[in-house]
Structure 1
Amino acid sequence: MKPSRRDLLAAPLLAVPALSACDRFASAAPAQGPEALPLKDILPCPFGATGMTWQLDQADWIAQTLKHCSQLTPEWEQKMERTLGPGFTYDFEPSDRVVGFARDNGLRVHGHTVIWYSQGAEVFDDATLPRDRFAAEYDRYISTFVGRYKGQMAGWDVVNEPVAEDGEGLRDCHWSRALGMDGYMVRAFEQAKAADPDAVLFLNEYNLENIPKKGATFLKLVERLLKLGAPIGGIGTQSHLDIEIPAGQITTFMRDAASLGLPIHVSELDFPMQREGRMPDLRSVADKRAQQVARVGELAEAFMALPERQRYAFTTWGLRDIDSWLVREGKSSDSPLLLDAEGRANPAYQAVVAAVG
């Protein structure tokens, strides 16, 4: 019999002492790999992770995914570098495999990603392609791709990472040069809405919690696009967390984002303890772990405090540490996800469960 949320929350491994303010999770004792109860049964919203075609042949990945997840995001198979070929040819076979796996196993699917500034320029060459051809192929790609999965997707990341790195305005890219800075985004949402009218359509971005200026620019962009008629249905915050940001910063962004009234997706959560590009790092492992647990706990608490209708899903970018792109690419050797390589609970897992309680 499936345990109730009350039974799961009452389990001994989930006990975390109550503290004050946003850092009350920081003292959660580092777990020695206890069993992780199913996240999909604990969280009061869908819990998701990513999947790739090569993982579909791994029995341990399948077992852990079906244990913990109610939602799956294709990690790479729906990116334009995989789906779009020379001469505007399409290949959706890998995407079909991931979507089919999810469908066959009762998981809902979140599509990622339709339009991204960093991909497609080799084919959508704004310097040589006539504007009318550019616009026509842009529309055809979105309508074909999104329409292929009509009725099968819970939502889509329609436009990904449009805000400049430092939050100073928007990114210049092949899409904006050909179709206008706001124009390419409005057009993408309109085409996606026509192709899959029941899916929730997201504007997705990173560093929104980490860089307050970028978060503010992003929310202003959402408001402006809505006024221009873009059928934006949700906000995606990737939440690749910098664990050294000040306490309260995540809560502030989540509160500001919630004020728009749209569903919010924590869409790509991870939280490495290692610094990137900042030396020297004199923190002890205990200090880094405390920062990690505190920031993940704050994010989870701020998300769980949202009205139910605004909690679209809580998604980690990879399920276990060994599934993380950070680990695969050698950018991290610590525990950037909720589960360790064996699928047991990392300390941050307990912070998420405590936030639910």
Structure 2
Amino acid sequence: MTQPPHPSRCASHLLPRGEKDGIDRRALLAAPLAVGTLAGCDRLAVAEPTPPTVPPLKSIAPFPIGTAVMAGHFDDPAWVALARAQVNQLTPEWEMKMEYILQSLDRLTFDAPDRIAAACEREGVRLHGHALIWYSQGEQAFSGFDRTHFGRAFDRYIAEVAGRYRGKLVSWDVVNEPIAEDGNGLRDSHWSRNLGDDGYMIRAFEQAKLADPEAVLFVNDYNLENNPVKGTTFLRTVERLLKAGAPIGGLGTQSHLDIEIPAGQISRFMRDLGSFGLPVHMSELDASLRRERGGDFRSRAQRLEQQRARVVELAEAFMALPERQRFAFTIWGLRDSDSWLRRDNRDDGKDQPLLFDDAGRAKPLTAAVAEVFGRG
């Protein structure tokens, strides 16, 4: 999430660009959804080319295509129509996170995640749970306990939430964003301080496995492609947890891409990630055109070409994985106007981080990704 804060960060995981640059993901996710609105036109911009004709992504990709969802999206017919056409997996963007569900240790709220789960069942699409344990949430509710009572409350929360959706979802992000922002070691959090740096993660996976033995259990993080130091720390952490017996079933890389990273960096990380032999989830893809640091003198055409090159490299690296390891390819929003990157006050309405424009039309980027998927 100097990359954009990721959505987990998303109001949860917006760490990449967000955390570093002061974006409050919680505020962004809590803000009204920008549904179906067209951004103001740049009077100096030339007319946009005719949108390309692209087959539905889910019809050509040899793996599930996902997107992030908020319960309010189901009230937008245009979003529903686009989602039905393009995707066959949904990830709750915020409303299955602890910050939403956990009102207190004695009161859990499930209205929105239940609505999302019911919609997935009704529409016959997969549901990916996001997220059980995240460093950014739960500290206040879990404060004041000794280690024993803290652990019991930790176990109970996972049992109640993961158990509620047992058989209704295919997978969970069990531990979200455990690696430090700069990549040097693990994050310090209320979880690690009470249960140990690796201990809280091992325990979370064990409890999730007990609550839903059939779900694929993921560890998920961001900036892994963007920051080689962080990517390496993530890989070493996974290796260590697996050796300790943690029942990790899959690896999630959020892929909030910095479009200015060198060519080849994404592919190298993906090869290393795939070396574990576990399912890989491209879990929160977007690619902002904005530069969060320094002046930006790139033309729009240059930025779009950088974006295309990096997203295509990601798609090709994912396609290069063995078929059994390609768990899903999830875009963090459908239309540009749905993106968390368009929810802060600095946004000028012109960022185009996703595969469909504000009106839900495919873009040249969409066609480029579809071409890669069509090869398989």
- TM-score of the aligned structures, taking structure 1 as reference length: 0.89
- Aligned residue number for residue 306 of structure 1: 321
Q: 3-state DSSP class of the match of 1:266?
A: strand
Aligned AA (1:85)? Q
Aligned-pair identity (%): 58
Note if contact 1:35-1:344 (Cα within 8 Å) is conserved in structure 2.
no
> How far 1:32 moved relative to its partner?
3.4
Q: 3-state DSSP class of the match of 2:170?
A: strand
Unmatched 5+ stretches in structure 1: 1-29
The residue correspondences of 1:222-261 to structure 2 (distance < 5 A) are 222-261=238-277
| In 1, Cα distance between equivalents of 2:282 and 2:271 | 14
> How far 1:200 moved relative to its partner?
0.5
1:264 corresponds to 2:280: yes
> How far 1:31 moved relative to its partner?
5.5
- Aligned residue number for residue 23 of structure 1: none
Alignment root-mean-square deviation, CA: 1.2
| In 2, Cα distance between equivalents of 1:93 and 1:292 | 37
The residue correspondences of 1:162-177 to structure 2 (distance < 5 A) are 162-177=178-193
After alignment, is 324-333 or 78-87 more displaced? 324-333
Note if contact 1:31-1:347 (Cα within 8 Å) is conserved in structure 2.
no
| In 1, Cα distance between equivalents of 2:316 and 2:50 | 23
> How far 1:257 moved relative to its partner?
0.4
1:106 corresponds to 2:124: yes
| In 1, Cα distance between equivalents of 2:49 and 2:89 | 26
Which digits, 9 at most, give the CA deviation of each residue in 1:188-215, with x for residues without a partner? Answer: 0000001111110000000000000100
The residue correspondences of 1:139-158 to structure 2 (distance < 5 A) are 139-158=155-174
1:323 corresponds to 2:338: yes
- Aligned residue number for residue 141 of structure 2: 123
Aligned AA (1:206)? Y
Aligned AA (2:125)? L
Alignment size in residue pairs:
325
1:160 corresponds to 2:158: no
> How far 1:56 moved relative to its partner?
1.0
| In 2, Cα distance between equivalents of 1:330 and 1:209 | 27
After alignment, is 345-354 or 141-150 more displaced? 345-354
| In 2, Cα distance between equivalents of 1:115 and 1:176 | 11
- Aligned residue number for residue 292 of structure 1: 307
Aligned AA (1:99)? A
Note if contact 2:52-2:364 (Cα within 8 Å) is conserved in structure 1.
no
> How far 1:151 moved relative to its partner?
1.3
| In 2, Cα distance between equivalents of 1:238 and 1:289 | 20
- Aligned residue number for residue 354 of structure 1: 371
> How far 1:88 moved relative to its partner?
3.6
Note if contact 1:36-1:343 (Cα within 8 Å) is conserved in structure 2.
no
Which digits, 9 at most, give the CA deviation of each residue in 1:46-99, with x for residues without a partner? Answer: 000011111111111111001101100011110111100134421111110011
Aligned AA (2:263)? A
Q: 3-state DSSP class of the match of 2:327?
A: strand
> How far 1:152 moved relative to its partner?
1.4
| In 2, Cα distance between equivalents of 1:76 and 1:192 | 19
Q: 3-state DSSP class of the match of 1:109?
A: strand
Question: Measured at CA, do residues 31 and 168 of structure 1 come closer, stay the same or move farther in structure 2, by a change above 3 Å?
Answer: farther
| In 1, Cα distance between equivalents of 2:344 and 2:52 | 27
> How far 1:330 moved relative to its partner?
4.4
Q: 3-state DSSP class of the match of 1:294?
A: helix
Note if contact 1:33-1:340 (Cα within 8 Å) is conserved in structure 2.
no
> How far 1:345 moved relative to its partner?
1.2
> How far 1:320 moved relative to its partner?
1.0
Which digits, 9 at most, give the CA deviation of each residue in 1:273-296, with x for residues without a partner? Answer: 1011x1111111111111000000
| In 1, Cα distance between equivalents of 2:67 and 2:197 | 31
Which digits, 9 at most, give the CA deviation of each residue in 1:228-279, with x for residues without a partner? Answer: 1100000000000000000000000000000010000000000011011x11
| In 2, Cα distance between equivalents of 1:289 and 1:312 | 28
Question: Measured at CA, do residues 160 and 331 of structure 1 come closer, stay the same or move farther in structure 2, by a change above 3 Å?
Answer: farther
| In 2, Cα distance between equivalents of 1:259 and 1:230 | 18
Aligned AA (2:330)? T
| In 1, Cα distance between equivalents of 2:74 and 2:197 | 38
Unmatched 5+ stretches in structure 2: 1-47
Q: 3-state DSSP class of the match of 1:267?
A: strand
Note if contact 1:156-1:199 (Cα within 8 Å) is conserved in structure 2.
yes
Question: Measured at CA, do residues 31 and 258 of structure 1 come closer, stay the same or move farther in structure 2, by a change above 3 Å?
Answer: farther
1:45 corresponds to 2:63: yes
